[in-house]
């Protein structure tokens, strides 16, 4: 029976080498097996196997019969997703700043990442008491306003996308709530993630209409009461639509 620790170490080493191959080719423009093997300090057969795996996924491609490799088109969709995330923060920053100043609460933009909502941008209002610094924080999907918005969009495409941590007894209720979120175009979270914390979120769409992020406003429950959440929800929805418009999404008038 093999050593699992050694297998993991070998796997990590292979990943490190594959990333280095991509970085080398990116820097050189094109490179051959011998050149890459020398840079990696490995045998040519090892470099060839790495290139074969990368080529199979379209991350590199061989240039005719010259024996040289260059970056492949398979990197384009990966780079596109990163650029998309950067774009939503670039396009969303002025909208978030204005909304935070006007409402006096914390405004966040979150994106989906491996089953969680990740806060990638934040604007704080002028209130003396603000909420936690959410920037960079990973939060659950099922009990946060941003997460519900992102999860509602994911469930439309894949009904099995509900997080594993949701108890079987709660899955039906969550599915029903997500359907309401998708129909209404916003989600609330009333002290679900943390006691004393309320939030409302709306979707942000890219040029194709896909939900790529969620815009949220959060604050302490004594300021963001149910009545005030209800009052500011149209502002949050409008801000989400404005970022979507800046992202290239055109929504026909109601």
User: What is the CATH class of 4-73?
Assistant: mainly alpha
Whole-number pLDDT of residue 7: 46
Model pLDDT for residues 94-148, shown as the tens digit of each residue: 999 999 999 999 999 999 988 889 898 999 877 655 556 777 788 899 999 999 9
Would you say the CATH fold of 78-246 matches that of 4-73? no
pLDDT classification of 83: cutoffs 50, 70, 90:
low
Nearest to 45 by CA among 30, 31, 34: 34
Distance, CA of 252 to CA of 254 (rounded, Å): 6
Q: Which whole number is the average pLDDT over 234-248?
A: 96
Burial of 173 per CB tally in 10 Å (0-12, 13-18, 19+):
exposed
Model pLDDT for residues 144-202, shown as the tens digit of each residue: 999 999 999 999 888 888 888 888 888 899 999 999 999 999 999 999 998 999 999 99
Q: Is the pTM of this model over 0.75?
A: no
Does residue 213 register a pLDDT over 70?
A: yes
Mean confidence (pLDDT) of the chain: 88
The fold of the 78-246 domain, in CATH, is Beta-Lactamase (3.30.450)
Domain locations in the chain?
4-73, 78-246
Strand ranges inside 138-241, DSSP E: 138-139, 187-190, 197-205, 211-220
Instruction: State the sign of the Cα–Cα–Cα–Cα dihedral 35, 38, 44, 47.
Output: negative
């Amino acid at each position: 029976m093999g050593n699992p620790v050694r297998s993991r170490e070998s796997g990590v080493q292979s990943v490190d080498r594959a990333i280095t191959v991509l970085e080398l080719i990116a820097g050189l423009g094109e490179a051959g097996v011998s050149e890459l093997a020398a840079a990696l300090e490995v045998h040519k057969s090892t470099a060839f196997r790495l290139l074969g795996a990368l080529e199979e996924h379209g991350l590199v491609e061989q240039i005719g019969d010259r024996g040289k490799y260059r970056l492949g088109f398979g990197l384009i969709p990966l780079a596109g997703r990163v650029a998309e995330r950067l774009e939503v923060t670039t396009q969303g920053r002025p909208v978030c700043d204005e909304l935070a100043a006007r409402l006096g609460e914390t405004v966040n933009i979150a994106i989906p990442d491996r089953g969680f909502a990740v806060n990638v941008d934040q604007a704080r209002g002028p209130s003396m008491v603000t909420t936690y610094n959410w920037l960079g924080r990973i939060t659950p999907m099922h009990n946060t306003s941003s997460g519900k918005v992102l999860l509602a969009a994911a469930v439309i495409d894949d009904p099995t996308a509900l997080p594993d941590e949701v108890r079987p007894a709660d899955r039906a209720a969550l599915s029903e709530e997500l359907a309401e979120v998708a129909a209404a175009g916003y989600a609330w979270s009333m002290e679900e993630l943390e006691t004393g914390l309320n939030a409302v979120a709306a979707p942000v769409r890219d040029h194709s209409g896909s939900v790529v992020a969620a815009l949220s406003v959060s604050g302490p429950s004594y300021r963001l009461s149910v009545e005030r959440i209800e009052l500011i929800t149209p502002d949050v929805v409008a801000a989400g639509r404005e970022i979507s418009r800046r992202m290239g999404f055109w929504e026909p008038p109601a």
